Amino acid sequence: MKRLRHNLTVAALVVAAPIAAQPLELLPTSAGYQPKDAVEQGLWLEMDEAEQQMRASKFLIDDPELNAYVKGVLCRAVGTDKCGAARIYLMRTPQFNAAMAPNGMMLVWSGLLLRARNEAELAAVLGHEFVHFEQQHSLKSFRDIKAKSDAITWLGFVPGGMLAQIGLMGSVFRFNREMEKQADMAALDYLSASGYDPMAPSKIWEQLLGEMDVQAKANKSGAAAQEASDFFSSHPNTRDRMEYLRAAARTKAPSSDDGSERYRVAIARWWPRLIDDQVKLNDFAATEFLLNGLARGNWTADLLYARGELYRARGKEGDLAKAEGFYRQSVSKDPALAESWRSLGMLLLRQGKSSEGRKMLRRYLDIAPAAGDRPMIEAMAREPQK
């Protein structure tokens, strides 16, 4: 279950259905759109209530600047005339996911922000979700499930249940291929028309596929490995998607604007927390893959620190020595990174290099004198009484 939840549910709130031909009329993305019949009104009501809860959620990343940035990326991608209909909620949840509700509520998990390497990749996912909204995929799916006899209790948000429900959506992924493809293609048009690198969507899928692969190999053995391979055979979408997106991108005008520097700056303040969330999942292989993908040969002080944390937490034979190396590189690149000094000090103490370890801990306290763990670190950094 966790695995399903992990990577695959970009279009979570949507389930597959043959697309009924619809006459052109006011789209939900237009100003003043109101839900039409009882089914749609019911969905909107449910979503509006869920959204009220969402606004009070402890998981919201309540940073006006970051929210404005993400909204700005959506607006550039789909156009400022339309983007106003969507309300974005950034959720502190380390897995890769985004979801779109029929009333315009868009959820973006912080695991997506961590994994996107540039603005174009983020725009690709936001645009994709927006197409689901614009083309009323949720509503169509709901009608379709209603028509079929299917006991999926989607949208069963009582009294909260939002995250859990979205997690469950992974299990209906295989139903939604047509809508996914439709959303992928329309989002690619948006992306290209707004001048972003059209290769971005296939790249983000490529990265996810890689992460899923290493995770499967690392975590599974025996029966579990079989289960994992069953999973892949019933979910060929990711590989397919990556390929058709890449092929379609070649027909678009190439662009080198991926906004990687803008993206880096925009999420810089949150990045240490997001990578910390990922490291604390105790998921070594996926995190190591992710870090390599983010670094692409250019290991920054932050990335080195995160990698040190990952190796130190696993603590297998040789890991501590590697972690020590990462921390040392990290502090040499950025001597102001307090956490690297802290971890390096702890690591040295653990390995019996006490005197140097205590020195490192004192460096940490010098840089971060108001740290909440000061009393403990001070005690650890104190020279033993002779």
Partner 1 sequence: MARGLGIGMALAITFAANAIMAQTPVVTENFAVRDGFAFAPETPPRILVFRPEIKIGEQTTAGLFQNNAEWHATATRELSAALVAMGDKRGIEMVLHDDQPADNPLMAEHRALFRLVVGTIIRHKLFSKDPLPSKIGSFDWSLGGGIAKIAPAAKADYGLFLLSHDSFETAGRRAAKLVAALMGNGDIAGTHFGYAALVDLKNGDIVWLGVDLKAGGDVRTAEGAAQRVEQLLNGFPARASGKAVAR
Partner 2 sequence: MAISLLALVGASVPAFAEWKALVADESVNVAGKLLVATPEAGWNRSSARPSDHGERWTRDGLALNELTFFAAIPDGGTLYHSPYGATQKLPKFRSNMLATEIVELFESSNRILLNSSVFSVDAIEPAKLGTHEGVRFAYSYAAQDEGLTRKGEGVAAIVEGKLYLVNFIAPEIHYFDRDIEEIRQLVATLQLRPPEPSQP
Q: How far is the CB of 348 from partner 1 (least distance, A)?
A: 43
Q: Which of 97, 103, 110, 135 binds partner 2 (CB under 8 A)?
A: 110
Q: Which of 26, 39, 225, 376 binds partner 1 (CB under 8 A)?
A: 39
- For residues 304 and 75, what is the distance between their CA atoms, to the nearest angstrom? 34
C-alpha distances in angstroms, 352 versus 10, 268, 348, 358? 47, 35, 6, 11
Footprint on residues 260-289 left by partner 1 (CB under 8 A): none
> Which option in partner 1, partner 2, none does residue 9 bind, with CB closer than 5 to 8 A by kind?
none
C-alpha distances in angstroms, 129 versus 200, 251, 286? 15, 22, 25
- For the record, the structure tokens of 138 come out as 């949720």
Q: Which stretch binds partner 1 (CB under 8 A): 51-59, 288-296, 324-332, 354-362?
A: 51-59
Q: Which of 2, 36, 80, 148 binds partner 1 (CB under 8 A)?
A: 148
- For residues 214 and 284, what is the distance between their CA atoms, to the nearest angstrom? 10
User: Is 169 within 8 Å of 12 (Cβ atoms)?
Assistant: yes
Between 21 and 38, CB nearer to partner 1: 38
Q: Which of 53, 221, 234, 332 binds partner 2 (CB under 8 A)?
A: 53
- For the record, the structure tokens of 349 come out as 């103490």
Footprint on residues 142-201 left by partner 2 (CB under 8 A): 153, 155-156, 158-164
* Residue 214 touches partner 2, criterion: CB under 8 A: no
Between 209 and 380, CB nearer to partner 2: 380
Footprint on residues 354-383 left by partner 2 (CB under 8 A): 372-373, 375-377, 379-380
- The position carrying tokens 């993400």 is 70
Number of H helices, E strands in the chain: 20, 3
Footprint on residues 54-73 left by partner 1 (CB under 8 A): 55-56
* Residue 38 touches partner 2, criterion: CB under 8 A: no
Q: Which of 20, 32, 52, 282 binds partner 1 (CB under 8 A)?
A: 52
Tell me, rounded to whole angstroms, the distance of Cα 200 from its chain centroid.
15
Q: At what angle do helices 284-295 and 271-279 cross, to 10 degrees?
A: 150
Footprint on residues 151-170 left by partner 1 (CB under 8 A): 151-153, 155-156, 158-159
Between 103 and 202, CB nearer to partner 1: 103
Q: Which stretch binds partner 2 (CB under 8 A): 198-206, 236-244, 273-281, 293-301?
A: 273-281
Q: How far is the CB of 94 from partner 2 (least distance, A)?
A: 5
- For residues 116 and 207, what is the distance between their CA atoms, to the nearest angstrom? 9
C-alpha distances in angstroms, 112 versus 47, 96, 97, 130, 205? 22, 5, 6, 16, 12
Closest alpha carbon to 193 in 120, 297, 109, 263? 120
- For the record, the structure tokens of 266 come out as 């925009």
C-alpha distances in angstroms, 117 versus 58, 114, 290? 26, 8, 10
* Residue 24 touches partner 1, criterion: CB under 8 A: no
* Total residues binding partner 2 (CB under 8 A): 40
Residues that bind partner 1 (CB under 8 A): 35, 38-39, 41-46, 52-53, 55-56, 142, 145-146, 148-153, 155-156, 158-159
Residues that bind partner 2 (CB under 8 A): 1-3, 53, 56-59, 92-94, 110, 153, 155-156, 158-164, 219, 277, 280-283, 313, 315, 346, 349-350, 372-373, 375-377, 379-380
